[in-house]
Structure 1
Amino acid sequence: MDLNYSDEQLLLRESADRFLKERYDFEKRAKILASDTGFASDIWAEIADLGWLALPFAEENGGLGGGAVEISLIMEAVGRALMVEPYLTCVILAGGLVERLGSEAQKAEILGGLIAGTSRPALAHTERQTGFDLGSVSAIATKNGEGYVLSGEKSLVPGGPFADVFLVSAKLDGLISLFAVPANADGLFRADVKLVDGSRASDLVLDNVSVQASALLTTGTDTLAEIEAAYDRANAALASEAVGAMDALLDATVAYTKERVQFGKPLAAFQALQHRMGEMAVKCQEARGSALLAMLSVDAPRAMRIRGVSGARAKIGKVSRSVAQEAIQLHGAMGFSQEMPVGAWFRRLYAIENTFGTTADHLKRYGEIIRDPAILSGSLLREPV
């Protein structure tokens, strides 16, 4: 397997890094977080023009036909720049589900608007009791004439404050189904909250929300299995985002220790600190390898997908915490100052570690799947014969 990037992929990585470096510096991000919306519409429009919003979707749906490799390059750049706009939740999570479960009309309306930058869908699936059990859903959908009525609550919907349409999961005749619900629907109440890294999410209450029959996303597939696969794609993308943040922390730490003088010489001249930064570099490479496997696993059979994705999330959760803590310690009190992005990378990595499953959740899931000796000893990407 050739693991080298193609010329087109290298160009994508270079252009993504350059765009965010020029248009999304730390000061710009701070202003966005301090704003009422917590969202930069101009940045969103620009990444739409760059084709980022169309990247993972098939050409017949108006997309560019990019794959997991291209998404990982974008997400690494997002991690380095600490971009708070809901690229992951709108494009990879919600958009991916619409492409796989939606009707042609739904794809044209929701995906078309998303690719153009005018629509931002969000997946509203998890509830207070859901945790890491994606099948634990208590929201109910009932047939009502030509449409449906939805009731229930959804917790911490990522990208919720910016969404114009929610993909709401609810049990219909005992089976989980997805419904496209406009954000301004009667009976839909939204409370926005700020998370530890400054990003925003929403708690939803659906009080007898009426939707038309066309709101149901149907393809005859197992909806819960598709939701699980969508979360795995999102987790693989999060792994790449974490790699970008870890690389940025390492670069910032090395640069700071070269400038900071103590006892008449730069901190970087002290061998003990060199060893600590060397350990950080090793852990960054470990994370990169794990993220690569996760990315290559998203389209593999389910067992191999779980092994690659949850294995990566468990590994990266551990090493990213170590790298972030080392960066803070080597910066000293400066690491916590508002003027430096080190603390922001630290908080983002903490948020990633607790998004779409904790490190412990993924470690348990990984452990359960490798109990099968054939899976444990077999190929990383091909199902055992």
Structure 2
Amino acid sequence: MNFNLSEEQTMIQNSVARFVQDYYAFEQRNATVALEHGFSADHWQQFAELGWLSIPFAEEYGGFGGGPVDTMVIMQEFGRGLVSEPFLPTVLLFGGLLQAGASHEVKNELIPQIIAGELQGAFAFVERQSRYSMSDVKTRARQDGVNWVLNGEKTVVLNGGAAQKLVVLARTSGEQPGENGLSLFLIDAATEGVTTTAYRMTDGREVANIALENVTAEVVIGGLGEGYGLMSPVVDQAILAVAADALGAMESLNAQTLEYLKTRKQFGTHIGSFQALQHRMVDMFAACENTKSLLYRAVCALDAGDQDVRRSLLALKCMVGKAGRKIGGEGIQMHGGMGMTEELSVGSYVKRLMIANILFGDADHHQQRFSALVNSPFKKD
């Protein structure tokens, strides 16, 4: 199978790599994360000018019409540089849901604003009790005349503090935690009754808890009760993006650790000459390559509409968690005490990998789902 990138994909990759090199040295990255909402508005405008925000969207809305491979290329470079701008929550989740289910009028209005860097968005679906089950939703939407009124609370909303508009998952019928009866609603973050409490994750990126008290929704995304089916393929795309970001972080951490072993001296010689450390570096490299192989498999399966895509995604997310722990732990240990300091970037990469593990379900959760899938008596041979 040919895994070579196309000319356009190579250009995108080189463009993002140059941006990371020019604007995301470790000290610059720390200064960016310290800004309000954890990212730079100037950088976001550069993303728009370079055309990156248009890549996943259809050409009829001003987009590039890209697919999973294009997204993978961008996110892998973002992971290498620990880029903090909200490409995942605004473009892939919020924008992806609009493109998947919004009316033509809503798409024409909002997607060009995302592409131009003028609109920040977020997808509010996690709740306190839901853990990793996206269908465990207490938030309710009741009809009031021609409008829908939402009540409930969402937690850990990626980019929730900066978002101007939200897509909210709420229950219009059925019982918790069923998949039936879930619907998606578009609301303005400044609407009366919306209370946002922003805070930082371990890796410095901002999320928010959002309380909804008698909030009137602007519009329903898709049909009533179609929310779960509508969001599932969008979340699949997001899982691939998180995995690509994690792979980029793993590759960068591996390279930094190898360089440290080549330059750090102990007992009069470079510690990279010690066979025990060489074996550990091989294990780190193997973990990274295993993640890359599963990522390529999942991307190809999703791009081709393969029936095996669910198994590939579950295996990939499981590997991201396990390989991230392996590479992160070894990276810290082989850097010695320096690996624990804030002055070195090692800890920031480890934190990025920790967050990659828990987004959309950690390794243990996906291991259980994978086992249930392959052991199902109804699975196809």
Q: Give the TM-score, by structure 1 length.
A: 0.93
Which amino acid is the alignment partner of residue 186 of structure 2?
A
Partner of 1:281: 285
Is 2:265 the partner of 1:261?
yes
For residue 271 of structure 1, the aligned residue among 269, 275, 278 is 275
For residue 211 of structure 2, the aligned residue among 205, 212, 216 is 205
1:68/1:295 contact within 8 Å kept: yes
Is 2:164 the partner of 1:159?
no
Which amino acid is the alignment partner of residue 24 of structure 1?
Y
Which amino acid is the alignment partner of residue 206 of structure 2?
R
Is 2:189 the partner of 1:189?
no
1:91/1:114 contact within 8 Å kept: yes
| 1:2-21 equivalence runs, <5 A | 2-21=2-21
Question: C-alpha distance in 1, partners of 2:285/2:96?
Answer: 33
Which amino acid is the alignment partner of residue 367 of structure 1?
S
2:222/2:230 contact within 8 Å kept: no
1:13/1:74 contact within 8 Å kept: yes
Question: C-alpha distance in 1, partners of 2:115/2:295?
Answer: 26
Question: C-alpha distance in 1, partners of 2:225/2:69?
Answer: 26
Partner of 1:111: 111
2:150/2:214 contact within 8 Å kept: yes
For residue 351 of structure 1, the aligned residue among 349, 355, 359 is 355
1:102/1:219 contact within 8 Å kept: no
Question: C-alpha distance in 2, partners of 1:9/1:375?
Answer: 36
Question: C-alpha distance in 1, partners of 2:149/2:348?
Answer: 41
Q: Please report how far the alpha carbon of residue 223 of structure 1 lies from its aligned counterpart in structure 2 after TM superposition.
A: 2.0
Partner of 1:383: none
What secondary structure is seen at the aligned counterpart in 2 of 1:37? helix
| 1:59-74 equivalence runs, <5 A | 59-74=59-74
The CA RMSD over aligned residues, in Å, is: 1.7
Is 2:322 the partner of 1:326?
no
Which amino acid is the alignment partner of residue 133 of structure 2?
D
| 1:234-313 equivalence runs, <5 A | 234-299=238-303, 304-313=308-317
Question: C-alpha distance in 1, partners of 2:305/2:128?
Answer: 30
Which amino acid is the alignment partner of residue 15 of structure 1?
S
Question: C-alpha distance in 2, partners of 1:288/1:184?
Answer: 41
Which amino acid is the alignment partner of residue 208 of structure 1?
N
1:134/1:228 contact within 8 Å kept: no
Q: Please report how far the alpha carbon of residue 198 of structure 1 lies from its aligned counterpart in structure 2 after TM superposition.
A: 1.0
Partner of 1:342: 346
Q: Please report how far the alpha carbon of residue 148 of structure 1 lies from its aligned counterpart in structure 2 after TM superposition.
A: 1.5
| 1:99-178 equivalence runs, <5 A | 99-174=99-174, 175-178=181-184
CA deviations 1:235-270 (Å, max 9, x no partner) are 111111111000000100011111111111111122
2:173/2:225 contact within 8 Å kept: no
What secondary structure is seen at the aligned counterpart in 2 of 1:310? helix
Which amino acid is the alignment partner of residue 337 of structure 2?
A
2:201/2:207 contact within 8 Å kept: yes
- Cα gap change, 1:19 to 1:167, in 2 (>3 Å): same
Partner of 1:380: none
CA deviations 1:35-91 (Å, max 9, x no partner) are 333220000000111111110111112110111011101111010100111111111
Partner of 1:367: 371
Question: C-alpha distance in 2, partners of 1:296/1:219?
Answer: 30
What secondary structure is seen at the aligned counterpart in 2 of 1:228? helix
Q: Give the TM-score, by structure 2 length.
A: 0.94
What secondary structure is seen at the aligned counterpart in 2 of 1:353? helix
Q: Please report how far the alpha carbon of residue 375 of structure 1 lies from its aligned counterpart in structure 2 after TM superposition.
A: 5.5
Q: Please report how far the alpha carbon of residue 374 of structure 1 lies from its aligned counterpart in structure 2 after TM superposition.
A: 8.5
Which amino acid is the alignment partner of residue 119 of structure 2?
S
CA deviations 1:197-250 (Å, max 9, x no partner) are 1111010100001234xx111257832012122211111111111110000001
Instruction: Give aligned pairs, total.
Output: 375
Question: C-alpha distance in 2, partners of 1:116/1:257?
Answer: 44
Gaps of 5+ in 2: 175-180
Which amino acid is the alignment partner of residue 50 of structure 2?
L
What secondary structure is seen at the aligned counterpart in 2 of 1:85? coil
Which amino acid is the alignment partner of residue 240 of structure 1?
A
Which amino acid is the alignment partner of residue 70 of structure 1?
D
1:303/1:375 contact within 8 Å kept: no
Question: C-alpha distance in 2, partners of 1:173/1:374?
Answer: 28
Question: C-alpha distance in 2, partners of 1:96/1:337?
Answer: 38
2:172/2:225 contact within 8 Å kept: no
Which amino acid is the alignment partner of residue 198 of structure 1?
G
Which amino acid is the alignment partner of residue 2 of structure 1?
N
What secondary structure is seen at the aligned counterpart in 1 of 2:152? strand
CA deviations 1:158-177 (Å, max 9, x no partner) are 11111100101112244211
1:151/1:208 contact within 8 Å kept: yes
